[in-house]
């Protein structure tokens, strides 16, 4: 993806803090700093993968871009138009953007209402956005969407608990596609599924992307999954983006110590090479986003940390064309 191309989505210094309930009103209010000053672009037609340990803020980032969570500060620009800008006090109504920006949730069993039929679930978005002119057109559209995700028309009258996890996720994908979106946040869409059907769902998402000219933000904790589907990958640690590059470049020439750690845990296809490779183990637990470390947030676990790292937060800088890294080294 060329950096000269206009991005579909531009995120600048995005922050999302959650207030902590139950803190003493006489004390200073505490916040979970889930996303801290994150900036990047997503280009039309690409898949940008986001990886990091659980709790690193990747899901919050995806939901904040869609404004399912209201940002704390920063800027989100969609196709050249600001949908949120804390400095200019812009926070547009999102209903028209819900047609363009959709989400596929991690756990399909939790994200589908068990009391609604599949037809009602998929048709709800058509109703909200008034995307049909007759009942017949509505039901044809539902059938077409079910067909697109590998389900059949009889499934429209059944309820989510009657389906397997993989089929439920297909319903979730059909629901996201119902409004004919341009951009979809795929929030760990396969992590709740059996390994045997994960690749089927990933392949289907790739086919749908090609057919419908979709742009994806693909969130996962497993870099080997993200590497397969993404054009570029962003690595997050404790609410911040620490490295962002073309997938091949990031996986073959990782620069940030945290990215190197993630990659050292990915099994290699060759068992001899896999056994001889040294796995980098991080010491200590991931710190709390309620009270993140000073300076570089990774310094408490980084084997190369210096005094500067403890004091000064490294900026995400372009180290080689298209390869961004936040590290003092």
Q: Using CB under 6 A as the criterion, which residues of the chain lie in contact with ligand SF4 when the complex forms?
A: 256-257, 296, 298-299, 302, 304-305, 309, 314, 327-329
Which CB sits closer to ligand SF4, 226 or 309?
309
| Residue placing its CB nearer to ligand SF4 in the complex, 81 or 329 | 329
Q: Report CA dihedral (311, 320, 59, 171) to the nearest 10 degrees.
A: 180
Classify 127 in phi/psi space as left (phi over 0), alpha (psi -120 to 50) or beta.
alpha
Q: Give the Cβ contact number of residue 73 at 10 Å.
A: 14
- Tell me how far, at minimum, the Cβ of 258 lies from ligand SF4, in Å: 6
Burial 227-256 (b: 16+ CB within 10 A, else e): bbbbbbbbbbbbbbbbbbbbbebbbeebbb
265 and 53 Cβ atoms separated by less than 8 Å: no
Between CA 49 and CA 92 the distance in angstroms is 26
**Nearer of residues 165 and 287 to ligand SF4, judged by Cβ:** 287
Cβ 302 to ligand SF4, closest distance in Å?
3
Rounded CA-CA distance 185/47 in Å is: 10
Nearer to ligand SF4, 125 or 263 (CB): 263
Nearest distance from residue 237's CB to ligand SF4, in Å? 9
Closer residue to ligand SF4 (CB): 269 or 284: 284
Tokens of 32: 């979970």
Shortest separation between residue 54's beta carbon and ligand SF4, angstroms? 20
Smallest separation (angstroms) from ligand SF4 to the CB of 284: 13
Q: What residues contact 79, with CB distance under 8 A and at least 6 apart?
A: 8, 9, 100, 182
CB burial of 117-126 (b: ≥16 within 10 Å; e: otherwise) equals bbbebbbebb
- Whichever of 184 and 327 has its CB closer to ligand SF4, that residue is 327
Q: Whole-number minimum distance, CB 287 to ligand SF4, in Å?
A: 12
Q: How far apart are CA 172 and CA 146, in angstroms?
A: 10
């Amino acid at each position: 993806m060329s950096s000269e191309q206009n991005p579909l989505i531009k995120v600048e210094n995005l922050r999302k803090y959650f207030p902590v309930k139950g803190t003493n009103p006489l004390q200073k209010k505490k916040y979970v700093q889930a996303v801290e000053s994150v900036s990047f672009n997503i280009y039309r037609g690409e898949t940008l993968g986001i990886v990091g340990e659980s709790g690193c803020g990747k899901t919050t980032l995806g939901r904040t871009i869609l404004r399912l969570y209201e940002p704390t500060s920063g800027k989100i620009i969609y196709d050249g138009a600001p949908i949120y800008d804390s400095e200019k006090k812009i926070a547009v109504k999102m209903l028209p953007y819900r047609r363009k920006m959709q989400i596929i949730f991690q756990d399909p069993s939790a994200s589908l209402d068990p009391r609604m039929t599949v037809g009602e679930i998929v048709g709800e978005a058509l109703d909200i956005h008034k995307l049909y002119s007759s009942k017949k057109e509505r039901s044809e559209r539902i059938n077409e969407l079910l067909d697109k995700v590998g389900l059949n028309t009889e499934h429209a009258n059944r309820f989510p608990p009657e389906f397997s996890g993989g089929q439920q996720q297909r319903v979730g994908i059909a629901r996201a596609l119902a409004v004919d979106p341009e951009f979809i946040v795929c929030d760990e869409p396969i992590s709740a599924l059996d390994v045997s059907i994960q690749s089927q769902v990933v392949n289907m998402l790739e086919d749908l992307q090609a057919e419908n000219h979709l742009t994806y933000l693909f969130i996962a904790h497993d870099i080997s999954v993200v590497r397969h589907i993404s054009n570029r990958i962003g690595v997050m640690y404790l609410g911040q983006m620490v490295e962002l590059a073309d997938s091949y470049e990031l996986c073959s020439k990782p620069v940030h110590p945290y990215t190197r750690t993630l990659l050292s845990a990915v099994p290699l296809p060759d068992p001899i090479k896999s056994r001889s490779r040294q796995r980098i183990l991080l010491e200590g637990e991931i710190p709390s986003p309620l009270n993140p470390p000073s300076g570089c947030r990774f310094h408490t676990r980084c084997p190369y940390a210096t005094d500067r790292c403890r004091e000064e937060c490294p900026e995400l800088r372009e180290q080689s064309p298209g390869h961004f890294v936040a590290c003092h080294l």
